[in-house]
Amino acid sequence: MRLIRFTIIISFIFLTASVFAADLDNVLANLQSYSANFKETVLGEKKHVISESFGTMALVRPGHFRWDTTKPTAQKIIADGHRLYIYDIDLAQVTIKKLDVAHLGDSPALLLAAHQNLNEKYHIQNCTTTSGKCFELTPKSTQSDFKHIVIFTDVDNVIDAMRLVDSLGQETNIQFSHIKMNPTLSATLFQFKPPKNVDVIQDNARA
């Protein structure tokens, strides 16, 4: 489920930047790249803390991102536009998946295309907070892995937090800090070669 939560998070970062707009798809043209630190807190049904993790992330659309968890365990998740690499450092294991834009909408992990119409896939409702604005997105499909997502923005309409509730009732809260909108990012950030002496698992389910 952690990978599902991660892919949902990354998917909507790709799809939204300044999100308080009548049509979320309109903002795609404004988002080219994004980087930030993150704190991820997972809560159980009774709101008790199940886990916390910390790290950094970066993306360039379409289809390039990395999510580096540094605490409590080290993990790297990198997409190079064609493949997704999940490197569990402690396990010395790399899983490689194909990024298949032909299945956009089958999974939030694949919502990486530049001009997706979110209104076709989600019920979208505006909301406000004491420190900014927010959007609540509820999947129209009953087969989704999550119930809803809330995207929070600061007073400048930049994403600074997200809340996700999955189909099991777990809640994931992501707080972003040290945010940079449209920074110049090196292409090497999104390149990955499995290290020697690690197990490599090829997942060709969508190949």
Question: Burial letters for 156-171: b for 16+ Cβ neighbours within 10 Å, e otherwise?
Answer: eebbbbbbbbbeeebb
> Is residue 198 one of the residues assigned to a domain?
yes
Residue 20 confidence (pLDDT) above 60: no
Could you tell me which residues are beta bridge partners of residue 137?
Answer: 124, 149
> Is residue 152 one of the residues assigned to a domain?
no
> Is residue 77 one of the residues assigned to a domain?
yes
> Is residue 29 one of the residues assigned to a domain?
yes
- Report which of 202, 203, 5, 197 is spatially closest to residue 89, judged by C-alpha positions: 197
The predicted structure's pLDDT at residue 56: 93
Tens of pLDDT, residues 54-91: 999 888 877 788 889 999 999 998 888 888 899 999 99
Helix (H) or strand (E) holding 143: none
- pLDDT band, very low/low/confident/very high, at 22 (cuts 50, 70, 90): very low
169 Ramachandran zone, left/alpha/beta (phi>0; psi -120 to 50): left
Mean pLDDT of the chain: 77
> Is residue 160 one of the residues assigned to a domain?
no
172-199 mean pLDDT:
92
Tens of pLDDT, residues 98-157: 876 444 443 333 443 334 556 677 787 877 777 777 878 888 877 777 788 887 878 777
Amino acid letter, residue 107 = S
Per the structure block, which two tokens stand in for 84?
């997704």
> Is residue 123 one of the residues assigned to a domain?
no
Q: How many domains does the chain have?
A: 1
The CATH number linked to 57 is 2.50.20.10
Residue 24: give the domain boundaries: 2-117+176-203
> Is residue 6 one of the residues assigned to a domain?
yes
> Is residue 35 one of the residues assigned to a domain?
yes
